[in-house]
Amino acid sequence: MRVTRWCSAAPGISVDSVRYSVPHQLAGTTVWARFHGDELIVTAVTEHGAVEAARHQRSTPGNPSIKDEHYPPREDKDAGRTPKATSAEEAAFLQLGPGAASWLVEAAAAGARRMRPKTAEAVQLAKLHGTAEVDRALGTAAIAGRFAENDLISILDHHSGRTVAEPTRASEDHRLQPGTSAWSGFGVAPEGDEH
């Protein structure tokens, strides 16, 4: 079985229509895979002979088994992911602010669909609601994992209903404490009824 790359850094094999990762050093080499009970054991031949290269729990189609240790080390692994615009539309979206950048990263990681129309809608909404409000809503959507149709509008509506009202202060005309007239008869026995 030949090890192929799924993307630039993710080498792996496919067994029974399921993808399994293998160490990145094995990209382009031949490995052997076999099931032993509920585990898939991947073996590679090195200059020292046959060695176990990877071990995975058996999975099902549509549920790949990927292990982080199979990826090559990244020098900037602790750095935040910063999206870069590849078109004028993406540049306009990213200019909304850090909330837009977070939304783009999280939406892509979640596999959100129809991202172009949603980013275009955000740019249009910024003209109506203001850039700061839309960026704030996009940041909220990114944190909450809300990437569906109309989620941004729903969050904007929710935020717009959250205006800070002027607090009510006590005065001669308005007291904060309710009246005590409802309590005036409490504990008084009705006429003719003695305890």
State the DSSP H helix or E strand holding residue 76, giving kind and residue range, or none if neither.
none
Both 65 and 112 in a single domain? no
Domain of 121 in residue numbering reads as 88-160
Of 114, 29, 118, the residue nearest 126 (C-alpha): 118
State the total domains in the chain.
2
Task: Dig out the tokens for 130 from the structure.
Answer: 């203001």
Residue 56 lies in a domain: yes
Q: Are 58 and 93 part of one and the same domain? A: no
**Each residue's pLDDT tens digit, 13-62:** 888 888 888 888 888 888 889 999 999 999 988 888 889 989 999 998 87
Amino acid at position 37, single letter: G
In a domain, 116, yes or no: yes
Instruction: Name residue 72's beta-bridge partners.
Output: none
User: How much is the average pLDDT of 126-136?
Assistant: 89
Q: What is the total residue count of the chain?
A: 195
Residues 138-195 pLDDT 10s:
888 888 788 888 888 888 888 776 554 555 566 666 555 666 666 666 666 666 655 5
- On whether residue 174 sits in a domain, the answer given is no
User: How many angstroms separate the first and last alpha carbons of the chain?
Assistant: 95
In a shared domain, residues 60 and 122: no
Number of H helices, E strands in the chain: 5, 6
* C-beta atoms surrounding 96 within 10 Å: 24
CA-to-CA separations, 191 to 16, 38, 183, 185, 187, in angstroms, rounded: 89, 84, 18, 12, 12
In a domain, 169, yes or no: no
- Does residue 135 have a pLDDT over 60? yes
Q: Which pLDDT belongs to residue 8?
A: 42
Q: Do the domain assignments include residue 190? A: no
Same structural domain, 23 and 64: yes
Q: Outline where 71-163 has alpha helix (H).
A: 88-94, 98-110, 115-129, 131-144, 151-160
Q: Is residue 135 part of a domain?
A: yes
- C-alpha 35/C-alpha 33 separation (Å) is 7
Q: What is the pLDDT of residues 66-113, one digit of tens each?
A: 888 887 776 654 455 677 777 888 888 888 988 888 888 888 877 788
In a domain, 41, yes or no: yes
192 domain-assigned: no
